[in-house]
Structure 1
Amino acid sequence: MDDPIIHFDHVGKVFQTRSGPVTALDDINLDFRAGEISAVIGQSGAGKSTLVRLINGLEKPTRGRVIVKRTDISQLPERALRPLRTDIGMIFQQFNLFASRTIYDNVAYPLKLAKWSKTEERARVTELLSFVGLTEKAWTHPDQLSGGQKQRVGIARALATRPTILLADESTSALDPETTAGVLGLLRRINEELGVTVIVITHEMEVVRTIADRVSVLEAGRLVESGPARQVFAAPAAETTRRFLATIIGQHPGSEELERLSTENPGSTLVDVTSVDAAAFGSALAELGRRGGVNYRIVHGGVIEVRGGAMGNYTLALSGADHDVEDAARLLRSLSGDTVPDSPASTTEGRD
């Protein structure tokens, strides 16, 4: 396997404050792969922004190594970091545009610092404004733009020097849902059409499920889960991840809801099916229909679209002969990797 484009090797970061040392990151081992969109998710204070600042050298680790494109940047002096930063673009939550400069000049700013010629600068800014759909706004100022347009300017500026890595730190949290969708679509285009490795820092699972190939979950400075997004969604190992998933997909009923469903479905067995591929779930229901002998109803659940297809959580009420119900429950639970016939989430009312 190729080396990761970014590698965290037992990285820790401690800040010294008046109240004493504060651990922002604790023993982080994490790889980011070239050409992918990776998301790092966590609540406020989880260490997300510290992690991203370590990638571009704005912070140095207290211990461990941060390796970017095979270069250990952990101890590099500021002068040696400057060329590296031209290969790492960054976009921010609050846009960070120069209010007194035109949109053209905002995008051109990194090129002036890099001492591009006027001809090269003009060609590159024109290309980028076209790419983000803001050619007609070149000579306006940021205060004349919407939030979504400002973020597109920020993205164009971040891409100015043709970086191979793009860091997006809470880049959509100040935007409404419709505008967020547009910005996420643009990040996906940047990844797919330009081949840029994108790392998204967010506290919104909606962002993760929309564009991420891989997801890493931070809690209180520790990495609690990491893997392909679809795998993490299908079988979340950490409670933190399950809480995030609860914000975007219907979760299994709690005890009160379960009691209500049992009362409403007397004589039925309730079966939970966790984070399963929606197409596979549909095929399983078709198989139950072919088998016969058991009746089923979906009494609780929800479905989300993720990269690679739809996934859902479902609670079904099954009724019929005992052996038919047990066979049906076994089939359904196998979709989420649980082949045990009797689950704690299942209840039986009015059965022997």
Structure 2
Amino acid sequence: MDQQFLFPFDVNNNPNNQILPRVFNEFFYNGETYVFLNGNNRQRYICLLMVDGDDIKLYKDEWARFLEDNVPPHVTTLHFVKEAESTFYVTGYSNLGVEGPGYDRRTVGNRLSRCLVRCTHGGQILPGDFLQDIWKDVFKIYANGLRFRVMHERVQLNIQSVVRSNRLFGYGWEQLVIALEIAEEQLMVFTNLGDNKLNLALFFNNGRCMHEELVFPTMLRIPPRPIAAYALHDKRAKHICSWKAHNSHINENDVFYAELDGTVTEFYHLTVPKEYCEVHMMHTYGKALLVHNQEVVSVNVKVIQDRTRPGRINHVKITGNWKKFAGRCGFILGKMMRLKLINTIVEMVEGEEIQVAVFHVC
């Protein structure tokens, strides 16, 4: 599954518009008129897409605001990381491979800082600011499900300058290059995981990433930015995930959204959208488990029938102490909840089998 891609930042046409690379058209575009872009300032921008012949462009005010807030003047390459359907974290690099302002260690998973380089012979040189003053002799590098121990040293490439770089070398690095079939000048992005560990992502020349990577969501700031008028009716635009390291956002399959309002908390029930009930046969369930981080709450699933027309299923409600569940999860009134069906289990109740739906709620 494609998760990320690189492409040159168009200095000449921005902030008016930016043509997205062909890999976006082929592997990421689903026909929507806008995408959600999470900046390194942990704010979300809902940016319009324009189809112009064979090109797809980012354009208009939201894109210009995103650039103003998140892309410093020295950035020449943009890096899109898919976090959910039509949702990307975006960062950028200078010609030297140095990343613009990046993730905050305290709030966003294990992706701390990155650098963009091309593979070199005789060991790999990384920008000095990437690992700063770390003098550790050995690093562990994770790539495509494999782990390698490589030698590391700080080097002074220019004797006229006090600035130092980082060099990865030795038998472990040579084995990594062979195992991953890395070509000279191939694009690579290193992520500093902390504790002397690095993640390595490899890219084709067209900017497409070669291997999958565990992607964590960006912890967006609260309160969020105002929602653009064209996305006001999109419930995704009102949703903010507060579950750290929750990586169940990669698609919108088996998902519905519901607002935590007074009806839900005071009357102890949440109505499941009719179209979701029909596709997922919610009338066949007797219970549900609501899971948020370490919290797990059992609730009931009830079919409400229209008495004027016997046998007709009107709607399905998930009933239980939603107010208590919200308090345990840190949800406030008005939160747009995202419920994703992740599993179905069977329980025996008084000798009868009951189907139980398991939902991630964030």
TM-score (norm 1): 0.31
The structure with the largest helix share of the pair is 1
The structure with the largest strand share of the pair is 2
TM-score (norm 2): 0.30
- RCO higher in 1 or 2 (8 Å CA, sep ≥ 6)? 1
